[in-house]
Structure 1
Amino acid sequence: MLLNRTGGQSCAIGVMAKAPRPGRSKTRLCPPLDPDQAATLSAAFLRDTTENLLAAARMAAPDLSIIPYAAFAPAGCEALVASALAPDIRLTLADGTPTMPAGVEGFGRCLLHAVQAMLADGHGSACVLSSDSPTLPTELLVMAARHLAKPGDRAVLGACDDGGYYLLGLKAAYAAPFSDIVWSTDTVAAATRTRIAGIGLDLVELPSWYDVDDAASLQKLLTERHGYPAPHTRSTLDRLGLRMLLQEPVPATALRHSA
């Protein structure tokens, strides 16, 4: 296993990086965005999230090693994904194609694939990280790695305000946290807690944060200033004229579409 300078095991943190392509990326943001705008914003989210990972690695050093990854899909899109990332981010395929335990379906296959791949690289722990939280405070990433570096087995969960989660960290590739989950619903974090408790694994909960996956949370992004600065996201909002668009009232139909 890879060790940090004090002998502890390194923590890999991999952002789930779907290739930013119109019609395939951030589709729940359409409307109010169009597919091209959504793909461009998705790329900005990836850049900020991976720069935030590098900032976390610097913040944790020298006593703790955080190794940033992009766990990407689909296969064959490495160049497109890499073009959206900060420098020095490791790539690992996480498309969920390997054989998985019963009950691990949908996005859970990609998440478990990512954990398996990062642990197979020799890290002592691995976290999967949402690409939908570009302003996530850097210290929460460091906090997750510190909890996982402590002796004993445990999971670390960072829940989102909408019932999902922005981070899940493990020391072993347990299938249970990804089994029988109804993805993209407000029950994901609660079901994950239940699955973790079911295998007798201690759970550490991080402070909650929000993800940007619908029209209402995109509007929140415009005014929120307490987390990571997310300069690429902010400049993209300005360059595409999205601030003007998003300051307009969001039609009720758009909010229903994004729910």
Structure 2
Amino acid sequence: MRAVLAAPAPTLLVIAKAPVPGRVKTRLTPPCTPEQAAALAEAALTDTLRALGSVPAGRRLLVLDGEPGPWLPAGWQVVPQPAGGLDVRLAAAFAAAPAGAPAMLVGMDTPQLSAAALAAQLSPAARAGADAWFGPARDGGFWALGLARPTADLARRLLVGVPMSSPRTGEVLLERLALAGLTVRRLPLLTDVDTARDAAEVAALVPGGAFAACWRSVGAVAGTAGAAG
């Protein structure tokens, strides 16, 4: 019981691009305009940061490509992304996490993530015996990766060289986690928002969020509201 009470609070990491038209959610254009796609990206990021803001944590780090805007809530420290491919930037995100505490990294493409589910997985009692957490995405990638004892070297060994944006991304990462001898806990399977069909599906799952409200507004203009049909 004493060990559970003394367990360090986790670090929460969100890796994201600043929601600038033409630089985010380009697979939504068309049917959306670059401005509409950027608004959807901002709404997804808003919901993600808001949800993670309710998960108990020692630190909250936004690993950002670009400049923060008024969408950034209090309590988040911004860490710039380095140059390099996504695999390199994901590994570098873990290097920014303080030593001695578990770290959970999520992206900005799953505004439907459950804060309660993450909080439960990261509670001191529940994380006993876990070395890593893996959140699979429906497109074959992953929406979350957690490490119980993150180090820059471990993150590089797990992530650098993993093919990104591939149907095998998650599979390759799981293979590396297994080769590293890590006990992995699975998180729920979620849909990344990449296409209009994805956006409609995710908006229906969280109708009260900023993303769903933005999608309804965009759909009314662009005729995309029924794209999941």
TM range (shorter): 0.7 to 0.9
Q: Is the 8 A contact 1:135 1:230 kept in 2?
A: no
**1:213-236 per-position Cα deviation (integer Å, ceiling 9, x unaligned):** 1122112124224xxx55211222
Match of residue 20 from structure 1? 19
Match among 66, 69, 72 for residue 61 of structure 2: 69
The 3 A distance-change label for structure 1 pair 139 and 108 is same
Match of residue 76 from structure 2? 89
1:7 positional shift: 1.8
- 1-structure distance, mates of 2:125, 2:140: 23
Match of residue 178 from structure 1? 159
1:123 positional shift: 5.2
Match of residue 94 from structure 2? 115
The 3 A distance-change label for structure 1 pair 37 and 44 is same
After TM superposition, the structure 1 stretch with the greater mean CA deviation from structure 2, 43-52 or 233-242, is 233-242
Match among 218, 232, 248 for residue 210 of structure 2: 232
Aligned partner letter, 1:178: L
Check if 1:213 corresponds to 2:185.
no
Q: Is the 8 A contact 2:63 2:78 kept in 1?
A: yes
The 3 A distance-change label for structure 1 pair 216 and 147 is farther
- 2-structure distance, mates of 1:222, 1:8: 36
Match of residue 142 from structure 1? 119
- 2-structure distance, mates of 1:242, 1:11: 40
**1:151-177 per-position Cα deviation (integer Å, ceiling 9, x unaligned):** 556111011111111110012231222
The 3 A distance-change label for structure 1 pair 52 and 242 is farther
**1:32-90 per-position Cα deviation (integer Å, ceiling 9, x unaligned):** 21111111111111111000011223xxxxxxx4533211114xx2xxx2422222222
TM-score (norm: length of structure 1): 0.77
Structure 2: unaligned runs, 5 residues or longer: none
The 3 A distance-change label for structure 1 pair 143 and 207 is same
Give 3-state SS (helix, strand or coil) of 2:16's partner.
strand
Match of residue 52 from structure 2? 53
Q: Is the 8 A contact 1:158 1:167 kept in 2?
A: yes
Structure 1: unaligned runs, 5 residues or longer: 58-64, 98-104, 251-259
Aligned partner letter, 1:29: L
1:28 positional shift: 1.4
Alignment RMSD (CA, Å): 2.6
Give 3-state SS (helix, strand or coil) of 1:236's partner.
helix
TM-score (norm: length of structure 2): 0.86
The 3 A distance-change label for structure 1 pair 53 and 134 is same
The 3 A distance-change label for structure 1 pair 213 and 201 is same
- 1-structure distance, mates of 2:125, 2:35: 38
Q: Percent of counterpart pairs with the same letter?
A: 26
Q: Is the 8 A contact 2:120 2:126 kept in 1?
A: no
